[in-house]
């Protein structure tokens, strides 16, 4: 009964979202307060129904109810409990349900916490959210219903794809979806603004916290996905320019651009059209990503499969939403009046510079992702656009942007003096230069590029805090005054500095790993000792072992050096018995910010095995950087200035009487 | 029933929640310009704060304040933001629509895709209902681990193969039967078991590989019913209804009605007879020796002359050829001799008897049978002459 109630709740939610698509929007048009207010209630009720539905599917998975087709396909009675939970969204149907659950979650957030929004805007936002919800619920119920039943129930399930049986899967997709789908709110805000025709600085101010929240989730989701691929796939890489990864990265780039351009729109009422377009494009890219992943047009490490009916359905959703919103955009954008003027060299100008590069980078990644697909559909030839393409296009685009990061926040609005801003950064520039030269000496001239990269990273990281340092006036005023000013600085300034510093940290990690990584690939026999990257690695042999739903050969290594003695590292080869699928579990040991990474090749009958070892200096900065970016985002979000109070009702009642 | 009660309660609560704001009436709402004023206030505070920590100069602060002020005036004056909001307009249609639409639409869509009467079937529940099955899965799991460690354990494969089949894991079953065959050697049962799972995996089509397996099984043991069953099926699938009819009938004469495959065989027989335009007849129960049965002959009698000739001659020639290859097949000889007798070919019958005598000289009982057969042929011969 619980399963069927979940199914019923899902369909009830579908009915609700149809109402949500109509009633608040009509209410906003007619100026009917009751109908507008109903949007709030419907959104919350929808979310509750989705929660019931998701909970009942989870129940079916955890209790191994194989009369539910989705559970039978993706679960197994012997699967560890954690993966029975994560298996709920480790498959197509379940992950689509998670997708709409999060869509409903954001709509409910706006409904519950959007008290500072004008009623018309809020009603329209919820209405547009209802349209998206309706489309995706129709998709789920028609093509991917997770509640389809099997009668009689098979006795045992087919098990979850072993690659997906991992703690990373438990956290990464929900986080990614929170970011992906979070941008549906900015999309809804943009469409709502276009419906009502009111697109101004106030709109930007209302939409910014939502964009920032989605951006925080997306950043965290991508970083987590990257770390998951790093340790689970056993190739030692942290970013593969895999289409599925790109699908989440493109919205991140445009979303980052949106955050910056919305700032200009809020403060100066300029860049209105562009900001609106970014809000539409960001969610469109999320939809495109959903289509690429869910339709099965890609074959990649993200091995959830699919069928064409679904692909066509999502494509239709894609066309309707992207096409519809852009058409509306074309009509509305011509009506918009220009906002505040600014000189090319100004804070606004710097943010335009940022947008230009981020948007171009997004376009280049999009091209590299879609080109092989388009080519294949035209003449059937399968090509793969690999890392070289992205490194050649994306890398150079990022460089000017990185160099500009410290300068931007120091420019004043409207009109600024570039030279004086750069002069203010002499300390950061000098430190970066010294660090770069030291790095050059350290690498003994083998890699000039690496030294340049380290210098650039130092420039970004130190420069990020230049604004805070200068605003506080350390060295110019008394320490106590400086400290008072420091405390008075708004949270968003701190947030900006932290996020920018995170970018520098990420860059440092990337440069360090690319330039100084050491690799060892060797067939080792039991008892053999190898010296590698300052370690002494002893292979002690293979031991068979058995897990709940797999068997494995554990390779035992003893590692000494760099401050450790006889550290045990246990990379393994696993075989998941139900799907007969082998996986490699890497062993990773962290030394401060660097890591020693062991992965295995195939074992030989004589007990020897191929060891692939990497020494990755400062590799964890690649993930600590985004962590800092997320913390910066949270700091900025917590800034009370982003919150605008709701008007007091007493005041408005008087006005109504007057009106 | 409980399901519908709970579903009704949920639907009721949700509908009530949707109706609440629609029917509340007389609330108070702020004007859009009030929201703009809130933003204006917040911006003023920000600018003052920036000024107080020297983040901006006083000139910049004044310019920014002036800009905010202009913006506030512009938004208050523009029509859209100072529009009064109707607090209680006519919600009649929204109310009626929601009441009617929510429950009806939901139930209609649910009935199209849901199965309200199907209870949850959690593993725990099913295990407690049927404790024997628990041991099967745990046994299977243990056996699988053993087999991964020692993939050359033929007996192990033989044990798990039928379990896989029962659990519906056909690919695993194929693999297990192949390994059994490879490691333990061929027996008719192993051959036809592998053939059977191959047929299941190809949705009931007897593939060439499966056909070969069944032929080998049937050759090795004429008593192996499974292989004969699938060979008959293959004949039908290959568009040889005449041979198929014969094969099915032959199979059915041996069967007891309790055998699980009998209904399938009968259905196939009927279908093949249908192809030939023959009315189905009950299989002969009198024939002790399988040869062309009574119904075969009847069937042949209803066909046109060419079809009849081809049917009978094809069948008998097949049998004769097989006996030339494998002369020790006693039942085969009996069938062949009887066939010639029924067909009225005494000369061929006599030759077959002679060959059979040479083939199995030590089988006293068979020799006696041959003697009787020869007498009966001579009698018939004499009667016709």
Q: What is the pLDDT of residue A14?
A: 95
A200 and A331 belong to one structural domain:
yes
> Is position A116 within any domain?
yes
Among partner residues B21, B63, B86, which is closest to A38 by beta-carbon distance? B21
Does A224 share its domain with A184? yes
**Relative orientation angle of helices B208-220 and B225-237, to the nearest 10 degrees:** 140
In a domain, B261, yes or no: no
Asked if residue A656 belongs to a domain, the reply is: no
Q: How far apart are alpha carbons A180 and A98 in whole angstroms?
A: 12
The pLDDT of residue B135 is above 60: no
The verdict on A510 and A526 lying in the same domain is no
A232/A353 same-domain check: yes
Optimal mutation site among B12, B83, B121, interface A, most CBs of chain A within 10 A? B121
Query: Number of C-alpha atoms within 13 angstroms, CB side, residue B157?
Result: 24
In this structure, what token pair is assigned to residue A565?
């003695």
Average pLDDT over residues B113-127: 78
Q: Give the pLDDT confidence score for residue A302 in this predicted structure.
A: 42
Pseudo-torsion of CA A295, A298, A302, A304, nearest 10°? Answer: 40
User: What per-residue confidence (pLDDT) applies to A32?
Assistant: 81
Asked if residue A555 is part of any domain, the answer here is yes
Tell me how crowded residue A378 is: count the other CB atoms within 10 A of its CB.
Answer: 8
Per-residue pLDDT, averaged over B121-126, amounts to 75
Is residue A340 within 8 angstroms of chain B, CB to CB? yes
As separate numbers, helices (DSSP H) first and strands (DSSP E) second, chain B gives: 19, 0
Q: What is the mean pLDDT of residues B144-165?
A: 82
Tell me whether residue B270 is in a domain.
no
Best mutation site among A18, A20, A38 for testing chain B: the one with the most B CBs within 10 Å? A38
- Residue B184, domain member (yes or no): no
Shortest Cα distance from A197 to chain B (angstroms)? Answer: 8
Kindly state whether residue B366 falls inside one of the protein's structural domains.
Answer: yes
Q: Which domain holds residue B364?
A: 312-385
Task: Kindly list the distances between the CA atom of residue B218 and the CA atoms of B180, B187, B228, in Å, as whole numbers in the listed order.
Answer: 19, 10, 6
- Name the helix (H) or strand (E) containing A557: strand A550-561
Contact check, Cβ <8 Å, A485/B53: yes
Instruction: Tell whether A253 and A370 lie within a shared domain.
Output: yes
**Residue A374 belongs to what domain range?**
179-335+343-405
Q: Which residues of B touch A45 (CB under 8 A)?
A: 14, 17-18
pLDDT digits (tens, 9 = 90+) for B303-357: 544 555 555 666 677 778 778 877 777 777 877 887 776 666 778 888 888 888 8
CA-nearest residue to B6 within chain A is: A5
pLDDT for residue A659: 34
Euclidean distance between CA atoms B169 and A477, whole angstroms: 78
Position A523 in a domain? yes
- B291 pLDDT tier (thresholds 50, 70, 90): very low
Torsion of CA A390, A450, A254, A498, to 10 degrees: 160
Query: Does residue A92 sit in the same domain as residue A36?
Result: yes
The tally of domains found in chain A comes to 4
Q: Are A467 and A492 within one domain?
A: yes
Provide mean pLDDT across the span B219-227: 83
Cβ separation B121–A153 shorter than 8 A: yes
3-state SS string for A257-326? HHHHHHHHHHHHCCCHHHHHHHHHHHHHHHHHHHHHHHHCCCCCCCCCCCCHHHHHHHHHHHHHHHHHHH
Interface test with B, best of A3, A6, A11 (most B CBs within 10 A): A11
Q: With an 8 Å Cβ cutoff, are A652 and B91 in contact?
A: no
Query: Of chain A residues 343-402, which have a CB less than 8 A from chain B?
Result: none
Clarify whether residues A155 and A215 are in a common domain: no
Q: Do A295 and A149 fall into the same domain? A: no
Would you say residue B192 lies in a domain?
A: no
Q: Is A526 part of any domain? A: yes
Task: Say whether both A51 and A192 belong to one domain.
Answer: no
- Helix or strand or coil: residue A38? helix
Return d(Cα A177, Cα B86) in angstroms, integer: 38
Please, what's the b/e burial string for B299-325 (b: 16 or more CB within 10 A of its CB; e: otherwise)?
bbeebeeeebeebbeebbeebbeebee
Q: Is the pLDDT of residue B370 over 60?
A: yes
Of the three residues A165, A189, A214, the one that is the final residue of a domain is A165
Residue A130 buriedness (CB in 10 A; 0-12 / 13-18 / 19+) = buried
Whether ipTM > 0.95 holds is no
Q: What is the pTM of this model?
A: 0.74
A140 and A183 fall within a common domain: no
Domain count, chain B: 1
Mean pLDDT for back-to-back runs of 10 residues, chain A (659 residues): 92 94 88 85 95 95 87 83 86 90 94 86 93 94 88 73 72 80 92 85 88 92 87 79 85 94 85 90 89 66 52 86 91 74 82 89 88 74 76 86 86 80 83 83 72 90 86 76 80 91 94 88 89 90 83 90 88 81 86 90 83 91 96 88 58 38
Cβ within 8 Å, pair A652-B34? yes
Question: What CATH number has the domain bearing residue A108?
Answer: 1.20.120
**Is residue A653 assigned to a domain?**
no
Task: Compute the nearest-CA separation of B190 from chain A (Å).
Answer: 24
Q: Does residue A415 belong to any structural domain of this protein?
A: no
Q: What is the mean pLDDT of chain B?
A: 76
Confirm whether A355 is domain-assigned: yes
Examine the fold and report which residue of A143, A165, A187 is the final residue of a domain before the chain moves on.
A165
pLDDT band at residue B82 using 50, 70 and 90 as cut-offs: very low
Q: Check which CATH number belongs to the domain holding B332 and give it.
A: 1.25.40.10
Residue B130 contacts A, CB cutoff 8 Å: no
pLDDT at A644: 65
B11 → closest Cβ in A12, A60, A116: A12
Q: What percent of chain B has pLDDT over 70?
A: 76
Same domain, residue pair A537 and A596: yes
Contact B316, B337 (CB under 8 A): no
Cβ partners under 8 Å of residue B203, min gap 6: none
Task: Specify the pLDDT at position B280.
Answer: 53
Name which residue leads in pLDDT, A566 or B91: A566
CB contact (8 A) between residue B88 and residue A11: no
B127 within a domain of the structure (yes/no): no
Residue B335 near residue B303, CB atoms below 8 Å: no
């Amino acid at each position: 009964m619980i399963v069927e109630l979940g199914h019923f709740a899902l369909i009830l939610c579908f009915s609700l979202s149809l109402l949500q698509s109509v009633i608040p929007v009509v209410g906003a048009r007619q100026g009917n307060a009751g109908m507008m207010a109903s949007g709030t209630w419907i959104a919350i009720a929808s979310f509750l129904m989705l929660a019931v539905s998701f909970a009942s599917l989870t129940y079916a998975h955890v209790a191994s109810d194989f009369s539910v087709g989705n559970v039978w396909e993706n679960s197994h009675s012997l699967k560890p409990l954690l993966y029975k939970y994560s298996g709920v969204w480790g498959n197509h149907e379940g992950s689509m349900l998670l997708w709409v659950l999060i869509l409903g979650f954001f709509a409910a957030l706006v409904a519950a916490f959007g008290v500072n929004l004008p009623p018309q805007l809020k009603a329209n936002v919820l209405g547009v959210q209802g349209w998206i919800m309706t489309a995706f619920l129709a998709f789920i119920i028609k093509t991917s219903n997770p509640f389809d039943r099997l009668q009689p129930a098979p006795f045992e399930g087919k098990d979850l794809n072993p690659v997906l049986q991992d703690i990373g899967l438990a956290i990464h997709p929900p986080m990614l979806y929170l970011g992906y789908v979070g941008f549906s709110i900015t999309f809804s805000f943009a469409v709502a603004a276009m419906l009502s025709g009111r697109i101004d600085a106030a709109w930007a101010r209302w939409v910014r916290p939502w964009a920032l929240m989605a951006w925080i989730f997306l950043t965290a989701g991508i970083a987590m996905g990257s770390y998951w691929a790093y340790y689970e796939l056993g190739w030692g890489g942290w970013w593969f320019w895999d289409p599925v990864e790109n699908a989440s990265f493109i919205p991140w780039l445009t979303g980052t651009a949106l955050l910056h351009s919305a700032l200009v729109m809020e403060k100066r009422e300029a860049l209105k059209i562009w900001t609106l377009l970014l809000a539409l494009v960001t969610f469109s890219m999320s939809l495109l990503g959903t289509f690429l992943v869910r339709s099965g047009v890609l074959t990649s490490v993200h091995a959830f499969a699919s069928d064409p009916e679904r692909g066509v359905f999502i494509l239709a959703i894609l066309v309707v939403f992207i096409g519809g919103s852009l058409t509306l955009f074309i009509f509305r954008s011509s009506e918009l009046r220009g906002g505040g003027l600014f000189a090319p060299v100004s804070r606004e100008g710097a943010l335009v510079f940022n947008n230009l590069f981020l948007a171009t980078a997004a376009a280049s990644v999009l091209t590299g992702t879609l080109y092989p697909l388009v080519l294949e559909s035209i003449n059937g030839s399968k090509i793969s656009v690999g890392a070289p393409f992205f490194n050649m296009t994306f890398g150079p685009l990022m460089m000017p942007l990185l160099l500009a990061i410290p300068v931007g926040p120091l420019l004043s609005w409207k009109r600024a003096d570039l030279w004086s801003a750069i002069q203010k950064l002499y300390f950061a520039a000098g430190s970066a230069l010294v660090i770069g030269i030291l790095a050059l000496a350290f690498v003994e001239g083998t890699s000039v590029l690496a030294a340049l990269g380290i210098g650039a990273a130092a420039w970004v990281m130190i420069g990020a805090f230049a604004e805070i340092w200068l605003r506080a006036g350390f060295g110019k005023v008394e320490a106590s005054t400086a400290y008072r000013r420091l405390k008075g600085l708004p949270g968003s300034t701190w947030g900006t500095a932290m996020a920018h510093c995170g970018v520098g940290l990420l860059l440092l990690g990337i440069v360090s790993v690319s330039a100084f990584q050491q690799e060892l690939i060797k067939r080792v026999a039991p008892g053999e000792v190898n010296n590698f990257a300052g370690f002494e690695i002893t292979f002690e042999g293979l031991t068979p072992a058995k897990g709940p739903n797999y068997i494995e050969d554990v390779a035992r290594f003893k590692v000494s050096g760099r401050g450790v003695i006889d550290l045990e590292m246990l990379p393994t080869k696993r075989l998941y018995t139900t799907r007969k699928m082998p996986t490699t579990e890497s062993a990773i040991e962290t030394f401060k910010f660097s890591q020693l990474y062991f992965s295995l090749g195939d074992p030989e009958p004589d007990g020897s095995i191929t060891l692939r070892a990497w020494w990755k200096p400062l590799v964890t900065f690649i993930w600590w950087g985004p962590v800092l970016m997320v913390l910066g985002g949270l700091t900025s979000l917590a800034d009370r200035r982003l919150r605008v109070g709701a008007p007091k009702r007493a005041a408005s009642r008087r006005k109504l009487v007057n009106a | 029933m409980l399901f519908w009660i709970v579903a009704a309660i949920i639907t009721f609560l949700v509908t009530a929640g949707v109706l609440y704001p629609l029917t509340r009436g007389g609330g108070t709402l702020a004007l859009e310009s009030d929201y703009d004023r809130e933003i204006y206030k917040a911006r003023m505070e920000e600018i003052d704060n920036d000024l107080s920590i020297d983040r901006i100069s006083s000139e910049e602060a004044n310019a920014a304040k002036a800009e905010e002020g202009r913006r506030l005036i512009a938004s208050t004056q523009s029509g859209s933001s100072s529009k009064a909001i109707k607090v209680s307009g006519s919600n009649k249609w929204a109310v009626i629509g929601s009441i009617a639409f929510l429950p009806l639409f939901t139930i209609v869509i649910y009935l199209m895709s849901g199965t309200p009467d199907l209870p949850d079937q959690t593993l725990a529940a099913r295990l407690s209902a049927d404790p024997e099955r628990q041991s099967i899965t745990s046994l299977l799991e243990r056996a699988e681990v053993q087999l991964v460690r020692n993939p050359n354990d033929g007996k192990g494969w033989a044990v798990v193969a039928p379990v896989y089949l029962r659990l519906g894991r056909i690919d695993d079953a194929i693999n297990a039967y192949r390994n059994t065959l490879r490691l333990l050697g061929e027996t008719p049962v192993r051959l036809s078991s592998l053939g059977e799972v191959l047929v299941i995996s190809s949705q009931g089509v007897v593939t060439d590989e499966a056909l070969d397996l069944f032929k080998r099984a049937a050759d090795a043991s004429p008593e192996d019913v499974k292989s004969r069953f699938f060979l008959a099926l293959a004949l039908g699938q290959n568009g040889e209804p005449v041979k198929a009819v014969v094969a099915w009938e032959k199979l059915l004469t041996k069967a007891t009605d309790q055998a699980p495959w009998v209904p399938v065989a009968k259905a196939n027989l009927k279908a093949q007879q249908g192809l030939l335009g023959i009315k189905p007849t009950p299989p002969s129960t009198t024939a002790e020796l399988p040869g062309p049965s009574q119904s075969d002959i009847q069937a042949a009698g209803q066909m046109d002359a060419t079809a009849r000739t081809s049917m009978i001659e094809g069948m008998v020639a097949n049998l004769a050829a097989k006996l030339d290859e494998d002369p020790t097949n006693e039942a085969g000889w009996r069938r062949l001799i009887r066939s010639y007798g029924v067909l009225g070919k005494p000369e061929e019958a006599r030759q077959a008897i002679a060959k059979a005598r040479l083939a199995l000289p030590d089988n006293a009982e068979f020799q006696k049978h041959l003697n009787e057969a020869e007498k009966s042929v001579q009698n018939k011969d004499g009667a016709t002459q």
